[in-house]
Amino acid sequence: MFKANKQRIQTHIESLARFTATPGHGTTRLSYSKEDESARHYIKQEMRNLSLVVREDAVGNIYGRLEGLLKNVPAVIIGSHFDSVPNGGSFDGPAGVVTGLEVAALFQEYGLKPRYPLEVIAMIEEEGSRFGGGVLGSRMIAGQITPTDLHEMKDSTGQSAADAMAKMGFNAADIGSALRTASDVKAFLELHIEQGPLLEEAAQDVGIVQSIVGMTEIRITVRGKSGHAGTTPMKGRADALVAAVSILKELPGLVLGESDMPVLTVGKLNVLPNGANVIPNQVDFTVDIRSANNGTIRRILGKIKQLAADAIMPGISFSTEELLYAEPVGMSTTIQSLLIGNCEKLGLRHRKMVSGAGHDAMIFASFTDTGLIFVPSKDGISHTPEEWTDYAQLQKGIELAFETIVQLTEAKEKSSNQ
């Protein structure tokens, strides 16, 4: 039976974790940053060490390709993202990238030759931490983003995604060349940490994801009027922060009455001009909504917009911008069956799951057969420096991914004596 190399897996995870803007305080690796550049250099070199043909697409997604016996046929892709949230952990994203590297290493070690090409992918900006709106790398692959979008997306300094790309040698105008379709992608498989407690609590090795919840992220901007904190009378103030709070305090109640248990999070809030003695004239905040039911998401969005309309007062205005909208997505039943069969073959304790987090897999599922494997997260913790997955558990997940990739690529040993 094929065995993944636990020490090699650990070395990759620890090596990628060093590329952070916040040493000692978790992983902070934003897309198109110097940390991104260092990580991509490492990933590309490791791909070359495995004799993969390496390329970067027009927007910075990294591919390492192992040609198959068949020509002019679609490839099987495995991988995940390598960006992070600010002060995040070492496993969210890199666990899936390392899975791809280890699968390719096992192909090399055991002398396997795929009939269909195998591609390992490392994607950018899944988290949306720099430019807002997640799964950007895979959305560009799926043709869901335009050059105009990339010029309009801005980070906290005002730099556009297009400009940040250009500084690293990528070109937003060529985004069309990053497009992948069913004609050249046979299947996509992603391994990811669960980011929740269910697998650990049930002492199970892996989760086989059946579907991913729908999710939306909107930005609400409240505009008012600045004034001196000491000389402007309370009556007649147009305080943008006070107006924003009138909405913020009502948001949790919008989801509590829904039967399918949606969740809502306000994760980012900016107050301008952000002076202790200045009345705020603008507040921006994001609202993240997730549900397995598309109708629920739309209903909550409608309620939020009504809250904003009701909160309008003299000198105060509201605007909303949709940063991301993804409907609930089912994973391929064919790949689920392969995964379950391989769990039984490997003796892995497994369960079927619904993912409450968005992943690149949900974008790939819009155009090709897609599978998603979860491995346990210690204490269910993620998006924090304390994020952890035991390397033995990650090894089991990678071995499951490997067996499934062998089937999807229809790989065979190069010679009978190997």
The model's pLDDT over 165-184, given as tens digits with 9 standing for 90+, comes to: 999 999 999 999 999 999 99
Identify the CATH assignment for 6-211+329-413 out of 3.40.630.10, 2.40.30.10, 3.40.640.10, 3.40.50.170. Answer: 3.40.630.10
Provide the 10 A C-beta neighbour count for residue 1.
7
pLDDT digits (tens, 9 = 90+) for 311-367: 999 999 999 999 888 889 999 999 999 999 999 999 999 999 989 888 999 999 999
* SS3 of residue 280 by DSSP: coil
Distance CA 1, CA 344 (A): 13
Question: What letter represents residue 185's amino acid?
Answer: V
Per residue in 362-404, pLDDT (tens digit) is 999 999 999 999 999 999 999 999 999 999 999 999 999 999 9
Give CA–CA dist 274/277, Å, rounded: 9
pLDDT higher at 74 or 1: 74
pLDDT tops 60 at residue 293:
yes
- Residues linked to residue 414 through DSSP beta bridges, in sequence order: none
SS3 39: helix
Mean pLDDT of 285-289: 96
In the chain, where are the structural domains located? 6-211+329-413, 214-326
Alpha helical stretches, state H, 153-236:
161-167, 198-201
State yes or no: pLDDT of 418 exceeds 50. no
Report the sign of the C-alpha dihedral through residues 107, 108, 111, 117, in that order: positive
Within 10 angstroms of residue 240's Cβ, the number of other Cβ atoms is: 26
Q: 326 Cβ partners below 8 Å, 6+ apart?
A: 135, 214, 215, 216, 358, 362, 363
Is residue 215 a contact partner of residue 360, using CB atoms and an 8 Å limit? no
Query: Annotated binding residue at 92?
Result: yes
End-to-end CA distance of the chain: 13
- Where helices occur in 268-390 by DSSP H, the ranges are 294-310, 333-346, 360-364
Spatial separation of the C-alpha atoms in residues 176 and 66, rounded to whole Å: 23
Q: Give the closest residue to 79 by CA, choosing from 32, 132, 43, 33.
A: 43
In the prediction, which pLDDT does 78 show?
Answer: 99
Query: Do residues 59 and 170 make contact, with C-beta atoms less than 8 angstroms apart?
Result: yes
359 belongs to an annotated ligand binding site: no
Whether residue 151 is annotated as binding a ligand: the answer is: no
Helix (H, G, I), strand (E, B) or coil at 24: coil
List, for residues 113-168, the tens digit of each pLDDT value.
Answer: 999 999 999 999 999 999 987 899 999 999 999 999 999 999 999 999 999 999 99
Asked whether the beta carbons of 373 and 78 are under 8 A apart, the reply is no
For the residues of 141-157, what is the DSSP string, one character each?
A: HTT---HHHHHH-B-TT
Q: Is 12 annotated as a binding residue?
A: no
DSSP E strands in 21-101: the ranges are 53-56, 62-66, 75-81
Spatial separation of the C-alpha atoms in residues 101 and 29, rounded to whole Å:
20
**Any binding-site annotation on 192?**
yes
SS3 384: coil
Cα 16 to chain centroid distance, Å, stands at 17
Residue 416 pLDDT > 50:
no
Q: What is the pLDDT of residues 214-253, one digit of tens each?
A: 889 999 999 999 999 999 999 989 999 999 999 999 999 9
Q: Which CATH architecture has domain 214-326?
A: 2-Layer Sandwich (3.30)
